[in-house]
Chain A
Amino acid sequence: QKEVEQNSGPLSVPEGAIASLNCTYSDRGSQSFFWYRQYSGKSPELIMFIYSNGDKEDGRFTAQLNKASQYVSLLIRDSQPSDSATYLCAVQRAGSYQLTFGKGTKLSVIP
């Protein structure tokens, strides 16, 4: 059974702080990792993807991947109230079309 685990939250951080969102996965054959943001009542939108161990930065967002520990995280620097949303971690096995999603972490950025 392939599983992707996320803390459901809510995770509350003050405006301007760093928000740290974590995700663990069970399938060691996983090759591609995605972070989506989903506002209430809306569809998921892609924030970042990462394939290789280490860090990947895009603006205020940094994705971190550690395949040995089966762990992927998303850091949001200088958090803004507009970052308040549910963040979904998704994992894809090498050679597969299917994404396995976690249940998401709800982030609340307090002004």
Chain B
Amino acid sequence: DGGITQSPKYLFRKEGQNVTLSCEQNLNHDAMYWYRQDPGQGLRLIYYSQIVNDFQKGDIAEGYSVSREKKESFPLTVTSAQKNPTAFYLCASSIGDREETQYFGPGTRLLVL
């Protein structure tokens, strides 16, 4: 089955800790995205990547980092600099043409201990 997988489903972070959220896709999509969703809010773009080894900041990149070493994978690290990390994190992908539809993974819910 083709699709987008995210792991873990739930993640707990301690103060001062960096954590990494995984996103993998087997759709052969070139573009991948990370969004953050807070309760009652729309999705906000953190980072996106159009091709391997290249990525751009979105609207709320501070306190986050990404890498794109493989086409299939786009992990997101939530650093200790992100002071309010509790949110629902969604990874998405699209074919790569700028106006193509984005499809979402199941999400990771990050909670702070």
List B contacts of A17 (CB < 8 A): none
Write the nearest CB–CB distance from A39 to chain B, whole angstroms: 11
Query: In the complex, which residues 13-66 of chain B have their Cβ closer than 8 Å to any Cβ of chain A?
Result: 31, 33, 40-45, 48, 50, 56, 58
List A contacts of B90 (CB < 8 A): 43-44
Contact B98 A95 (CB under 8 A): yes
Complex CA gap A45/B48 in Å reads 19
Chain A interface: which size bin?
A: 20 to 34
Contact A43 B42 (CB under 8 A): no
Contact A98 B58 (CB under 8 A): yes
Complex CA gap A5/B83 in Å reads 28
Contact A97 B50 (CB under 8 A): yes
The verdict on B12 contacting chain A, using a C-beta distance below 8 Å, is no
**CB contact under 8 A between A103 and B101, given known A44-B90, A97-B31:** no
B-contact bits for A34-53, CB 8 A (1 contact / 0 none): 10100000111110010100
List A contacts of B103 (CB < 8 A): 46
Contact A102 B58 (CB under 8 A): no
Complex CA gap A10/B113 in Å reads 32
Please report B residues at the A interface, Cβ cutoff 8 Å: 31, 33, 40-45, 48, 50, 56, 58, 90, 94, 98-99, 101-107
CB<8 Å pairs between A and B, sample of 18? A8-B40, A32-B99, A42-B106, A42-B107, A43-B90, A43-B105, A44-B104, A46-B103, A51-B99, A90-B43, A95-B98, A97-B94, A98-B45, A98-B58, A99-B45, A101-B42, A102-B42, A103-B41
